[in-house]
Amino acid sequence: MASSAVSSPTSSIKQRRYRFATEVVTVDNPDDPHNAASVPIYQSATFKQVGAGGGGDYDYSRSGNPTRTQLENHLAKIMNAKRAYAVSSGMSALDVISRLVQSGDEIIAGDDLYGGTNRLLSYLAKTQNIKTHHVDTTKAESVLPYLDPVKTKLVLLETPTNPLIKICDISAIAKHVHEKCPEALVVVDNTMMSPYLQCTLDLGADIEYHSGTKYLAGHHDLMAGVIGTRSEAIADRIYYVINATGCGLGPFDSWLLLRGVKTLAVRMDRQQSNAIQVVDFLEQCGFKVNYPGSRKHPQYELHKRMSSGPGAVLSFETGDIGLSERIVEAAKLWSISVSFGCVNSLISMPCRMSHASIPAHVRAERAFPEDLIRLCVGIEDVEDLLDDLKQAIRSAGAMPEHLDV
Ligand SMILES: *Cc1c(COP(=O)(O)O)cnc(C)c1O
């Protein structure tokens, strides 16, 4: 395959034959000459050609690499996509998607986005004259006033958002967008749910992307981004940008991601059941908890309709910044860390850490509580997680007496 090719070496994508947890551990590798049980790492920049005119499936790893192709075929299968691409990080995935938009075009996006996403959108506004309208996507109609059949090229959604856990109705928004702006693409960052819990392409998205660094990898040992679509035409445009800019995932990280993703279902099942118990405890303590699996969540029914589970990221408010700081600092098993999706449990204060890059006045406008604590629940024994939370809350002075046994 020549480096100037417009499509990737991705071969035929297998349709799902089994349930998710089975498909995710079943990696087809039919072309391996030695029948290797694990896809090998093709740690090679170049591939020898059969003749002066080329002729091999691969020629240069920026354009295509067999380890990456196997990973991409596997990801396409589990995302219910026609084609998927693996790139160097989640931000790199959004960078690739954003290159489908030109100067003077417009983007509509949520108002509670991942911090890095905000940073890239501000950069596009400043340097490329690409304006983003931020709207409250919890109300599908809020996109309507900004939909312009000429200018709108991208509608960028996250659901649930992180860390405020707001939910948007992907199907309803996609319907509005596709009716009014046939050329605009609905793009969903599905990192918080993973392909196991939510298939946004089934719900009407044109492109779904992930930070593969989170649940897909699952062990905080690599950075990756994943982009999936059902449209061959969109896939060709995405592949063109990846090859042109050179952000395809390297062979070793492709191998690590393919290895990590096999346990996605079993990790997520455990993380989610731990999270449900943690939420139950925090609600008993009287804290205001944000979690899509909590019946008190205003969009509980909507999330339930779109997904097969609430996931393992939650946040809660203590009512006092100092108290939140003391709880976070007293936790021992929960490590203070940004990110989520790892097998280990993490605790953080988004305003001080992952979301500190959003200016304080913007956080205030978006009703982003400064005392918010985010928990990303791992696969540890839930009794240990609860014990550690209890001692942290007790030592911070916030344990209700009736629970303090
Ligand atoms: C982490 C994250 C990203 C960015 O991904 P990186 O792999 O860190 O570049 C994008 N969106 C969401 C929702 C994330 O959590």
Q: What are 161-171's pLDDT values in tens digits? A: 998 999 999 99
From ligand 1's centre to the CA of 211, what distance in Å? 4
pLDDT at 398: 84
pLDDT level of residue 124 (50, 70, 90 thresholds): very high
- Rounded to 5°, the CA angle 206-209-214 comes to 160
Atom of ligand 1 nearest to the CA of 224: 7
28 included as an active-site residue: no
374 included as an active-site residue: no
Taking CA atoms only, the protein residue closest to ligand 1 atom 6 is 90
Active-site residue identified among 214, 237, 267, 270: 214
From ligand 1's centre to the CA of 294, what distance in Å? 24
pLDDT per residue over 283-301, tens digit each? Answer: 999 999 999 999 999 999 9
pLDDT per residue over 130-139, tens digit each? Answer: 999 999 999 9
16 included as an active-site residue: no
pLDDT at 11: 44
pLDDT per residue over 226-270, tens digit each? Answer: 999 999 999 999 999 999 999 999 999 999 999 999 999 999 999
Residue 345 phi/psi, 5-degree rounding, is -85, 140
Active-site residue identified among 59, 105, 112, 189: 189
pLDDT per residue over 334-352, tens digit each? Answer: 999 888 999 999 999 988 8
**189 CB within 6 A, ligand 1:** yes
pLDDT level of residue 52 (50, 70, 90 thresholds): confident
Chain mean pLDDT for the chain: 93
Beta-sheet strands, E only, within 224-275: 225-229
pLDDT level of residue 365 (50, 70, 90 thresholds): confident
pLDDT at 13: 54
From ligand 1's centre to the CA of 340, what distance in Å? 9
304 included as an active-site residue: no
Do 191 and 216 meet the contact criterion of CB atoms below 8 Å apart?
no
pLDDT at 401: 81
Q: At residue 3, does pLDDT exceed 50?
A: no
From ligand 1's centre to the CA of 5, what distance in Å? 29
pLDDT at 157: 98
Structure-model confidence comparison of residues 16 and 2, the more confident one:
16
pLDDT at 5: 44
Taking CA atoms only, the protein residue closest to ligand 1 atom 1 is 211
Atom of ligand 1 nearest to the CA of 223: 7
DSSP labels for 25-80? Answer: T----TT-TT--SS------SB---SBTTB-SS-SBTTT--HHHHHHHHHHHHHHT
pLDDT at 2: 40
Q: CB atoms < 10 A from the CB of 223, how many? A: 18
Residue 315 identity: S
